[in-house]
Structure formats: structure tokens, C-alpha cells
Amino acid sequence: MTSFLSDPAMDNTVSQPGISHAHQHLCLRGWLGRRQVRENHGSDPALTQIQLKVNANTSFNKTWQDFKNGFDFSPQEDFWLGNEKIHYITASKAHTLVVSVVVDDAVHQLYMYDFFMANETADFAVTYTETFSNSSVESYLGSCWGNDSIKFSTYDLDNDGVMSTNCASEFGAGWWYQAPNCSACNPNGDIDPNQTERLGIPSENFWNAAPINTSSPDLVSMALFRNLS
């Protein structure tokens, strides 16, 4: 697999209002480190990386408590910051979530403005105001979050809306699933660096978005950027 984490050639992001250009691709131009927050001088917003999935032998099929508190697989890079922390960050100030998906050395990014995660009482439901993408797959990347205020699910706490379906168990990861179709993606699903084509199983890491709908992602990364205003 190409070492795109420090490859300047991968810098193909689009400048967005309220987010410094330098911050937009930090998550792909140099390893940020687990649970790291970077503050730049001046008016640049703070960056908090909340997720990374790049290794084959790290399973995100964790409990509700695990996702609430956060987990990692040290010394491997994969991690989830923790829903309680994400709620605290997004409740403190307005943030934009930047989702980066690398497929065949191409970076597809989705910007979700005013991204907010509710507290545990509301099952860590998420809301956002609008989206923008540097990729033609924008509408499909956005559909991963389904309808507004969709709740978080894990295999041991099913919030997908249909009692006879457990999307988190079927997809092998915690995520904002919504039955009966569960999700148009599985960003926390299993990644195999030797796999280039999709296997067609729910637990794999996938995005139902042409032209990447037949490929297996090399990396999925999510980061919160504090809005400038």
C-alpha cells in the first residue's frame, strides 16, 4: 500500500471558508498521532482527529462503553477518540467534520459544517447543517449519516430503529446505522491492505459511491476543525 500519509502528492483538497488550507489536509500529510489536538498560532482553528482506520488486524466491533470512552490499538495507529469526548468538543464550539477516504491513492473528502454530537442520553445522535466535497461522490459520502439526528449503535446497544435488525452486529462496527438498509458506508469496518476490490460482505470497509463503490479503501480518517467564527 502506498505511503500516502506523508506524500505531498496527495495534497488535492479544496480550500473551504472558515477552515485554513493547511489544516484541511494535516490528517493526510504527516501522522497526527493518536488523540492529538494541534493548535496553530494566529487565527487557525484547532484540529482534533477523532478516528483512523488503516490496519487489517484492528476490529472496531466494540461495545457501547468502548465507543463512549474511546479506544486504540497501540502501537498500531487505528483509534476512536470516544463519543463522550466528541460530544464535549462539538458542544463547546462550532466544528466542521472532515472525512477523508483514500481509495487507489485518490483522496475523497467530505466537509460537514456545524457537526454536533449529542450526549449519551440522546444516544450520541449527530446533526450538521450542510456538506461540501472535493469529490463527485459527495452525496454518497454524506448519506453515510442517513437522516438528521440519527443515533449511534453498537452490537450491544441497537439504536438503528428496527428491533428485528442489528446493523452494528451485521456490519461488525459501531456507527450511525439506520435499518433496514443500515448504511451506505462502513467507515469503521475491516480494512485489508492487500484487498483492492470489495468482497461484498457487510463487515468490510466500504462506501456505496461511484467510482469507489467497487474498491476497498486504503484509509479512512476523520477530524474536527474548530470553525473560525
- Give the domain ranges of the chain: 4-226
Radius of gyration of the chain (CA): 16
223 bridge partner residues: 49, 98
Q: Among 182, 220, 213, which Cα is nearest to 50's?
A: 220
- Mean pLDDT of all residues belonging to the chain: 78
Residue 138 has pLDDT above 70, yes or no: no
Beta strands in the chain (DSSP E): 37-38, 47-53, 71-73, 76-80, 95-103, 106-113, 116-117, 126-127, 130-133, 219-226
Name the β-bridge partners of 220.
Answer: 53, 101
What average pLDDT does the segment 128-156 reach? 76
pTM for the full predicted model: 0.80
**pLDDT per position as a tens digit, 23-75:** 334 444 333 333 333 333 334 457 899 999 998 889 999 999 999 999 999 88
Predicted confidence band of residue 97 (pLDDT cuts 50, 70, 90) = very high
Q: What is the pLDDT of residue 106?
A: 82
DSSP H/E element including 65: helix 64-69
Peptide bond between residue 17 and the one before it cis (omega within 30 degrees of 0): no
Q: How many helices (H) and strands (E) does the chain have?
A: 5, 10
Separation between Cα atoms, residue 102 and residue 87, nearest integer Å: 26
Task: Write phi, then psi, for 24 (nearest 5 degrees).
Answer: -65, -25
| Residue 165 dihedral angles phi and psi, to the nearest 5° | -120, 135
Instruction: Record the cell numbers describing residue 216, joined without a space.
Output: 476497498
What is the third-level CATH fold of 4-226? Gamma Fibrinogen; Chain A, domain 1 (3.90.215)
Q: Which residue has the higher pLDDT, 117 or 76?
A: 117
- The tens digit of pLDDT for each residue in 183-223 reads 888 999 998 777 777 878 888 888 887 777 888 888 999 99
The C-alpha cell that represents 11 in the structure block = 495534497
